[in-house]
Structure 1
Amino acid sequence: MGSLEPSDYVWTETQPGRWERDVDEVEQFYTSLEKRYEGSGRYFFAMTGYISFSVSGTDQEVEDALRKAWLRLRYDHPSIGSRVEYCDAQKKCRKVYEMVPSPESQQKWLDTTLCIVPTKLSGLQWCNADPPVPKLPTLFLIKSRIPSRGVFKADLVLRCHHDIIDGIGTLMLFNNLFKHAAKALEQGDAYPLPSFGNEFTRLSPPLRVAAGLPPVLSAHRQACLDKIISYNVALKKGVEITSLPYRKGPTNPGKHQRVAITLSSEQTHRLLRACKALGLSVTHAYHTALAIVIRDLQKRQSRPRTVRYISHSLINERPHCTEPYDSPAHAVSLYHSTSGGCLAIDLIVPAASIGARDRVFDYSILRRREYMKVASVVRQFYLRTRNDKDHINMVPSYWAMGTYPYPPDNHTPPVPKPNDHPSVSISSIGTLDKTISPIHGAFELDNPWVTGEELGTGLGLFLGTWRGRLTLSAAFNDAWHTRNEALAFLDRCNVITIQALGA
Structure 2
Amino acid sequence: MATLMRTLRILFQPKKSLRWYQASPTIFRRNIDAVEGFHVTSGSENVPQGRRRLDLTATVNLQVGNGNKPTRHQARKAWIALRRKHPAMASVIQGSKRVYYRMDHQERQAWLDETFVNVPGEHALTPEVLNRYKATSRPTMYFLEDAHMFALRTPHYTMDGLGVFSLLGEYLAELGRIANKEQNACFDEQPSDLASCLEEAVQPTLSVTKTTFTTLENPTKLASKLPIHCN
TM-score per shorter chain, which class? Answer: 0.7 to 0.9
Q: Does 1:47 align with 2:49?
A: no
Q: Does 1:31 align with 2:25?
A: no
TM-score, normalised relative to structure 1: 0.39
Shift of 1:57: 5.5
Residue among 133, 144, 148 paired with 1:154: 148
1:97 corresponding residue in structure 2: 100
The one-letter code matched in structure 2 to 1:211 is: V
- Contact 1:169-1:328 within 8 A present in 2 as well: no
- Counterpart Cα distance in 1 of 2:19 and 2:57: 28
1:118 corresponding residue in structure 2: 120
Worse overlay, 135-144 or 23-32: 135-144
- Contact 1:132-1:159 within 8 A present in 2 as well: no
In angstroms, what is the RMSD of aligned CA positions? Answer: 2.8
1:163 corresponding residue in structure 2: 157
- Counterpart Cα distance in 2 of 1:119 and 1:59: 21
- Contact 1:324-1:330 within 8 A present in 2 as well: no
- Counterpart Cα distance in 1 of 2:118 and 2:49: 27
Shift of 1:175: 0.8
The one-letter code matched in structure 2 to 1:172 is: S
1:229-378 matches, cutoff 5 A: 322=218, 326-335=222-231
- Contact 1:116-1:140 within 8 A present in 2 as well: yes
Shift of 1:127: 4.4
Relative to 1, partners in 2 of residues 1:129 and 1:114: Cα closer, same or farther, differing over 3 Å? Answer: closer
Shift of 1:333: 1.5
The one-letter code matched in structure 1 to 2:14 is: E
TM-score, normalised relative to structure 2: 0.79
The one-letter code matched in structure 1 to 2:101 is: E
The secondary structure found in structure 2 opposite 1:133 is coil
1:175 corresponding residue in structure 2: 169
1:15 corresponding residue in structure 2: 24
1:384-399 matches, cutoff 5 A: none
Shift of 1:167: 0.8
1:370-400 Cα offsets, whole Å, 9 max, x none, are xxxxxxxxxxxxxxxxxxxxxxxxxxxxxxx
- Contact 1:77-1:332 within 8 A present in 2 as well: yes
Structure whose residues are more often helix by fraction = 2
Relative to 1, partners in 2 of residues 1:107 and 1:174: Cα closer, same or farther, differing over 3 Å? Answer: same
Shift of 1:106: 3.0
Relative to 1, partners in 2 of residues 1:25 and 1:64: Cα closer, same or farther, differing over 3 Å? Answer: same
The one-letter code matched in structure 2 to 1:109 is: W
Residue among 117, 139, 143 paired with 1:141: 143
Give the share of equivalent positions with the same residue, in percent: 19
Uncovered stretches (5+) of structure 2, i.e. residues with no partner: 1-6, 206-214
2:188 corresponding residue in structure 1: 196
Uncovered stretches (5+) of structure 1, i.e. residues with no partner: 87-92, 145-152, 215-318, 336-503
Relative to 1, partners in 2 of residues 1:38 and 1:185: Cα closer, same or farther, differing over 3 Å? Answer: closer
Shift of 1:20: 0.8
Shift of 1:75: 1.4
- Counterpart Cα distance in 2 of 1:207 and 1:69: 26
2:82 corresponding residue in structure 1: 73
Shift of 1:56: 3.5
- Counterpart Cα distance in 2 of 1:172 and 1:166: 10
- Contact 2:91-2:138 within 8 A present in 1 as well: yes
The secondary structure found in structure 1 opposite 2:57 is strand
- Counterpart Cα distance in 2 of 1:176 and 1:154: 17
Relative to 1, partners in 2 of residues 1:54 and 1:107: Cα closer, same or farther, differing over 3 Å? Answer: farther
The one-letter code matched in structure 1 to 2:64 is: V
